[in-house]
Structure 1
């Protein structure tokens, strides 16, 4: 089979495209013929070695995929040949990735594609949507009618956070580029603020703040947080440093949490997948603009992502000449 893979960690030019053996499945695995894979920043971190995880070489890159079941293991009970399926947790912790014509996926990490959902739109969405879902429901454990500030809401994760927070009955405020205001209000934001303005101009206090940008002072965010409030960081400032006033922080019983989806538990990933399929089936979370490339362009795709090109679009690779309406 054809695959995009590396023989060692390094720059994007380490990615090779060529023949590898089609994987053999065990009793609890499913062999999937891949239709499309998405390319996310985390893929570049794994490839470069920036994110430390167990790999076996040659290592097939990629984490998310959508495709069709072609073979099931002897102890697999939940899938049948011919079904369309997706996964979002391959390519790390010793598991081979998804950028190949065929992949062997543990049954526990595989989910059905809802009927009538475009598979390419789905695979483009799952990384940011699962991140948003786990943040809200497993990390913050949100409650209805509380208020949340989502910073950097115009980005991929930010917009998914707005959609899911709105569905959960939260009062949503956002920071973003002015050009994103109408889009975010359509998704459910009540108040929209220009991200270029200092956040200390915001007069509200929040139960939850999620910083997707790393560009806001931690103390400024804590000043916007109410009693028992929680902040989640999913990135860091360029200098990797934050300062804050400790006394007011602990006296207000506030908390600071960090999150990366690579450390989500299997139970969290499974729960998020069921939530996402519920929304996918209703046509939500599927509005990303796609940039589709053939799988053989995987190295180029990584270079584009690291250079910030097509940053408003989601890069999707296809082993064959798939189209958006396929």
Structure 2
């Protein structure tokens, strides 16, 4: 089968396109013929060796995939459209290949939607869903500020937070105000203006850009407020008033989806499928490339291309 793989970690130039054996499924796995995979920043970290995880070479890259069931074991039906978003790390093979064997408990039947739009959404949508429901454990009616709301994860946070009944505020470029308002942002603030100038305070704040100081966000938290970190400033340093934080019973919570539990992955998948079936969370601007351009896709990702990158396999 055709696959995109590496024989050692390193730059995007390490990615090779070649033939590998079709995987043999274990008792708890389902063989899937891959249609497309998305490319995420974390894929470049795994490939480059920055994200330390178990891998066996040649290592097939990629974690998200949409495809069709080949066999009929483990409760799945041949030809079913399915998706996954937790492969390609922690000892599991990647997905950028014509066929992949996926553990049944990490495989989800897809609703009848465009498979390319679905696979472009799952990484950002699952990240947002787990942050809101499991990390923050949000309560309806509370206020959330999403900084960098126009990015991939930012837009999913806006849409899901609004659907969950939160009062949503965002920071972004002014050109994105209309789109964010459409997704559910009640208040849109120009990201070029300091968050410190926002008059309101919030129960939850998440900075998707890594450009706002931790102390500035702490100053904008209500009693018992929470800050979510999914990135960090380039200098990777924080200074903040510890006494202020603990006397206000505030908390700072970090999250990366690679450390999400299986139950979190499964619960978020159920929620995402409900919304996918309603046509929600499928608004990504997509740049689709063939699997043979996997190197180029990783290069573009490292250049921070704005479109969501998808590699088509079949």
The 5 A counterparts of 1:176-191 are 176-191=172-187
Counterpart of 1:180 in 2: which secondary structure? helix
Counterparts of 2:242 and 2:35, CA distance in 1: 50
Contact preservation (8 Å) 1:218, 1:244: yes
Contact preservation (8 Å) 1:38, 1:65: yes
Q: 1:91 aligns with which of 88, 100, 109?
A: 88
Q: CA deviation at 1:132?
A: 0.2
Correspondence for 1:260:
256
Counterpart of 2:18 in 1: which secondary structure? strand
Counterparts of 1:83 and 1:254, CA distance in 2: 46
Tell me how many residue pairs correspond in the alignment: 314
Contact preservation (8 Å) 1:29, 1:72: no
CA RMSD of superposed structures (Å): 0.7
Q: CA deviation at 1:71?
A: 1.5
Correspondence for 2:310:
316
Correspondence for 1:218:
214
Correspondence for 1:164:
160
Q: 1:301 aligns with which of 289, 297, 300?
A: 297
Correspondence for 2:274:
278
Contact preservation (8 Å) 1:86, 1:112: yes
Correspondence for 1:110:
107
Correspondence for 2:51:
51
Correspondence for 2:26:
26
Tell me the TM-score normalized by structure 1. 0.95
Counterparts of 1:98 and 1:159, CA distance in 2: 25
| Structure 1: gaps (5+ residues) | 321-326
* Superposed CA offset, 1:285-316 (max 9, x none): 001011110001001100011012xx221111
* Superposed CA offset, 1:88-118 (max 9, x none): 0000000000000000000000001102x00
Counterparts of 2:90 and 2:124, CA distance in 1: 20
Q: List, as ranges, runs of 4+ consecutive aligned residues in structure 1 with deviation greater than 3 Å.
A: none
* Superposed CA offset, 1:165-208 (max 9, x none): 00000000000111110000000000000111111100101000
Q: CA deviation at 1:72?
A: 4.0
Q: 1:149 aligns with which of 121, 145, 150?
A: 145
Correspondence for 2:170:
174
Q: Does 1:17 align with 2:13?
A: no
Counterpart of 2:157 in 1: which secondary structure? helix
| Structure 2: gaps (5+ residues) | none
Counterparts of 1:250 and 1:262, CA distance in 2: 29
Counterparts of 1:150 and 1:118, CA distance in 2: 28
Counterpart of 2:70 in 1: which secondary structure? strand
Tell me the TM-score normalized by structure 2. 0.99
* Superposed CA offset, 1:194-245 (max 9, x none): 1111111001010000111111010000000010000001000000001001
Correspondence for 1:324:
none
Counterparts of 1:233 and 1:179, CA distance in 2: 25
